[in-house]
Amino acid sequence: MAEQQLGVLKALDVAKTQLYHFTAIVIAGMGFFTDAYDLFCVSLVTKLLGRIYYFNPSSEKPGSLPPHVAAAVNGVALCGTLAGQLFFGWLGDKLGRKKVYGITLIMMIMCSVASGLSFGNKAKGVMTTLCFFRFWLGFGIGGDYPLSATIMSEYANKKTRGAFVAAVFAMQGIGILAGGFVALAVSSIFDKEFPSPTYEVDRALSTPPQADYIWRIVVMFGGIPAALTYYWRMKMPETARYTALVAKNVKQATQDMSKVLQVELEVEHRAEVIVSDPRLNYGLFSKEFAKRHGLPLLGCTSTWFLLDIAFYSQNLFQKDIFSAIGWIPKAATMNAIDEVFMIARAQTLIALCSTVPGYWFTVAFIDIMGRFAIQLMGFFMMTVFMFAIAFPYDHWTKPDNRIGFVVMYSLTFFFANFGPNATTFIVPAEIFPARLRSTCHGISAATGKAGAIVGAFGFLYAAQSQDKNKTDAGYPPGIGVKNSLIVLGVINFIGMLFTFLVPEPKGKSLEELSGETEAEK
């Protein structure tokens, strides 16, 4: 069988790592920076929202968001993301990566800013506006997943493709850090300017009226880095693989890449034969697709789904876990601004020590170890550490053992990011045909977000104490933190088994992986 690959695509595959690769990483990565910033910054300010809008002067504890409101604020962006991944993933294959890429960015910038503005100053008005704009913010963020991954994998050379796509994803870690730093900076400035007593001393004055600006500034800041990259995003040419294999304009693809690679590329005469081969035009719901890509798609979707249940349930509820083990003081002993500072400090420490290094370990090792090995190892280690935290959970809650707990907790995060959290994002952008690549990545990512919704909402209820006197206001008794962690450990183990369905793309060209080189026998 004669292997056929277009000269322009071959040129991309063997191109030396050069400036345009890094430009592409920054342009695509800034979307991810904003994604992570926006999705996680809300967990820094939920306690503050409770104090401001659900203040009850007769209560011993500061105000907190009622369960249905907390679930909406945390979960509505995830629901938007799921919808956006499916819609923009499909659109990216229909209209081209570049066109759709601009739309998602504008949505992210506008909704970031709008979610910090609100109609009225009553709880209902503020929460409704916040949830409305966070849904559409999520919708824009959703589009960024399949498009960023697809654009980066289509631009990269085959030797370092894994590292490039991983580097785009690693910008998430920097976004999470930035969220922490912005919250720390804003709360420190406000604390200095508007000192206030703790909740125990004076309930009403513990939340100064100016505190309402804190959460708005933190939420709106996410739009700034995205706005800065808009111009560059619009200047990037469409990827050669889309132009040649989907739009079937090999001449245009060759011209675009000649500019990008700064070399003269010849337009091939036999290009049209390769591109218009009828056997490579099967659709997403065809038997041929099921035969070639059915199991890999099941592998990508199932592993991402299982990973996100564990990943998001931990991430969105870090502050609850920290309070449970005493890392964050009791709410009544702080004023509103202090509380924001303490939560941000704890989350930033975890991010600095475990989340961010995990991402960059993947970048460093993915093209050496391969995707499969990293994913298998990550799921295995997450299972081990979850069980190590869960079974002796009572031991970890004693004050002397807290440092040990934080170390174990950090390690689960480290191996999520140096593991399946990165690989589940990378592989779907490599193994499917160009005309379905963005769609299949969107499907995989959306299944992952469904897992995130299960994790975020399920854990909110599951982690409640079994003793109904100890639950948070408005929640039914759950299975407790210990049993919840055991369940998460089992989920990670199942993820490890499903990893065996995912092929290894290391060192192969995208056309080889998707079967698009089999143009002529």
The first and second tokens of residue 101, run together, are 């890429």
pLDDT digit string, tens, across residues 37-61: 887 788 888 889 999 999 988 888 8
Task: Give the residue ranges of DSSP H helices in 96-222.
Answer: 97-114, 123-155, 161-193, 211-220
pLDDT greater than 60 at residue 316: no
The reported pLDDT for the residue numbered 235 is 86
- H/E stretch holding 11 reads helix 7-14
Which amino acid appears at position 409 of this protein?
A: Y
pLDDT band at 1 (very low <50, low <70, confident <90, very high): very low
320 pLDDT tier (thresholds 50, 70, 90): low
Q: What is the pLDDT of residue 397?
A: 74
Q: What is the pLDDT of residue 520?
A: 40
Of 505 and 34, the one with more pLDDT:
505
Mean pLDDT of the chain: 87
Cα gap 18→288, rounded to integer Å = 38
HSE of 410 in the Cβ direction (CA atoms, 13 Å)? 17
Q: Indicate the pTM of the whole model.
A: 0.90
- Percent of the chain exceeding pLDDT 90 equals 44
Q: How far apart are the C-alpha atoms of 361 and 466, rounded to whole Å? A: 39
User: 318 pLDDT band (50/70/90 cuts)?
Assistant: low
62-65's contacts with Cβ under 8 Å and 24+ in sequence apart are: 62/199, 62/203, 62/206, 62/207, 62/331, 62/332, 62/336, 62/339, 64/472, 64/473
Within its chain, how far is the Cα of 402 from the centroid? 28
What angle do helix axes 67-95 and 19-53 make, rounded to 10 degrees?
Answer: 160
> What pLDDT does 461 receive?
78
115 forms beta bridges with: none
Distances (CA, A) of 393 to 135, 168, 298, 332: 36, 36, 34, 26
Query: Please, what is the Cα angle at 416 between 410 and 421, to 5 degrees?
Result: 145
- The conformation of residue 244, written as its DSSP 8-state character, comes to I
- Which residue in this structure is represented by tokens 């939920």? 46
Residue 278 has pLDDT above 80, yes or no: no
Q: Is 59 exposed, middle or buried (0-12, 13-18, 19+ CB in 10 A)?
A: middle
**pLDDT tens digits, one per residue of 375-418:** 999 999 999 999 998 888 888 777 777 778 778 888 888 899 99
Residue pLDDT, tens place only, 366-375: 999 999 999 9
Residues listed for the chain? 521
Residue whose pair of structure tokens reads 């979307």 in the numeric block = 31
| pLDDT at residue 485 is higher than 50 | yes
pLDDT at 321: 66
- With 90 as the cut, is the pLDDT of residue 501 above it? yes
Mean pLDDT calculated for residue range 458-465: 76
CA distance 241 to 510: 9
Q: What is the pLDDT of residue 193?
A: 94
Confidence (pLDDT) at 324: 65
Using the Cα atoms of residue 70, residue 71, residue 72 and residue 77 in order, give the sign of their dihedral: positive
At residue 223, the pLDDT reads 85
Report d(CA 238, CA 357) in Å as an integer: 32
How far apart (Å, rounded) are the C-alpha atoms in residues 507 and 521?
24
Q: What is the 3-state secondary structure (H, E, C) of 451-479?
A: HHHHHHHHHHHHCCCCCCCCCCCCCCCCC
Interatomic CA distance for residues 421 and 425, integer angstroms? 7
Residue partners of 487: CB distance under 8 A and separation at least 6: 462, 479
What pLDDT score was predicted for residue 319?
59
What pLDDT does residue 494 have? Answer: 96
As a dihedral over the C-alpha atoms of residue 369, residue 373, residue 374, residue 378, rounded to 10 degrees, the angle is -150
Q: Which segment of 223-237, 262-276, 359-373 scores lowest on mean pLDDT?
A: 262-276
Give the span between the Cα atoms of 446 and 90, in whole angstroms: 12
Indicate whether 353 pLDDT > 90.
no
pLDDT band at 430 (very low <50, low <70, confident <90, very high): very high
């890429």: which residue's tokens? Answer: 101
Neighbouring CB atoms inside 10 A of 397's CB total 15
For 207-228, how does the pLDDT look when each residue is reduced to its tens digit (9 = 90+)?
999 999 999 999 999 888 888 8
| Among 318, 492, 325, 485, residue whose Cα is nearest residue 405 | 325
Q: Give the Å distances, CA to CA, from 182 to 177, 218, 353, 396.
A: 9, 6, 18, 31
Residue 197 CA to residue 337 CA, distance in Å, equals 10
CB 478 within 8 A of CB 463: yes
Instruction: Please name the residue that has the structure tokens 């952008």.
Output: 429
Please say if the pLDDT value at position 521 is more than 50. no
- CA–CA dist 78, 446 (Å, integer): 10
Task: Compute the distance between CA of residue 15 and CA of residue 420 in angstroms, rounded to an integer.
Answer: 28
